[in-house]
Amino acid sequence: MMTRMLATTFILFVAGVAQSAPPPELRLKWGSGKLSLDAENVPLSRVLEAVSIETGTEITGGAELGSPISVHIAETELIQALQELLTGVDYAISAGSPVTRVLIVSKRKEPARTAPTADAKPDVQTKPAADPPENQSAEKEAGETQAPPGDPAENTLAAIETAATDRDSTALKAYLRDGDTAVQASAFQALATQSKDAAIESLAAEIQDTTQPNRLQALQLLVQSSGASEPVIMDTLRDALRDPDPAFNAYAIQTLAGYGNADAMEALTAAFHGMDAATRLTIVQSVASTQAGLPLLQEAASDSDATVSAAAKDLLKQLTARP
């Protein structure tokens, strides 16, 4: 009798454990440039594959992201939704026309993401933003720039508004280092209102500082900003091609390939000659989407690396076959 009771208890325990892990579930809706997504215990690679198919986004390097995620995104712009999905991943996004491209470089270790509670809003989650370093070392009078209790991200945005009103450029420059894209963008816009040149110069300084963890995010902000001139953006992207960070190289390559103009192709051709085989292959794959990349593909067809030359020849056939 005791043995039978123990066996019954064990079976019930195992059943309870099995029931505690919900089966994978994925729902996705795309329309009017907005993405809605509900994923419960679904491998990130599968989520990215579904987003790629539904939105037409070209996503490279996501097949190995097998960790399951639970995330809810509602009516969100594509770039912002991709940034939320790729939290903890080294990546580069090129918002080109007509195709948005994502290159995943590597994955960092991070705790598994879980779905919000039933009371939470089904929207993109933002992480708390820290006080700027200058405020930590030399705080102003109580209440002047400190945010009231509540949502940390909203409080930080309110603090940026206060700093903008007070024309506190020191605090605004500190917020440029924030890891939250909304916070960084708001700080940049506030600085640009005071002086567009000073704002771009401050953002460029963050990009060039290799000790800053959010410098790729700053690069993306500068490129997508309407305040930066074309020569400034092109010079920044040329520097990014030579940056020691592979994510910078990848982002610059995809962005320039997306431009598809003569200056962009010239920059990529110049970079092609001094890059390693893996980066040359990335350039070849990126320029294949535009007729402007034809001369570079023809040159790459004679590359000393067999993989690069084979890829270039194959892409040349596809490109020349297009009407």
Q: Give alpha helix (H) positions in 143-261.
A: 152-165, 169-175, 181-194, 196-208, 215-224, 230-241, 246-259
Phi, psi of 23 (to 5 degrees): -65, 155
Report yes or no: 234 and 76 within 8 Å, Cβ to Cβ: no
267 to 234, 240, 259, 293, 294: CA distances (angstroms)? 9, 11, 11, 12, 15
Average pLDDT over residues 158-179: 87
Lowest pLDDT segment from 96-105, 173-182, 297-306: 96-105
11 to 3, 5, 17, 21, 163: CA distances (angstroms)? 12, 10, 10, 16, 61
Which residues does residue 35 pair with via DSSP β-bridges, in sequence order? 30, 76
Report yes or no: 66 and 85 within 8 Å, Cβ to Cβ: no
pLDDT of 136 above 90: no
How does pLDDT run across 27-78, given as a tens digit for each residue?
999 888 889 999 898 899 899 989 988 888 888 777 888 888 888 998 888 8
Among 298, 308, 234, smallest CA distance to 276 is for 308
Give residue 299's pLDDT band: very low, low, confident or very high (50, 70, 90). very high
Element (H, E) at 269: helix 262-272
Domains and CATH numbers, the chain: 25-107 (3.55.50.30), 126-203 (no CATH), 229-323 (1.25.10)
In angstroms, how far is CA 219 from the centroid of its own chain? 11
**For the chain, percent of residues with pLDDT exceeding 70:** 74
Report yes or no: 47 and 69 within 8 Å, Cβ to Cβ: yes
| pLDDT for position 61 | 77
pLDDT of 89 above 50: yes
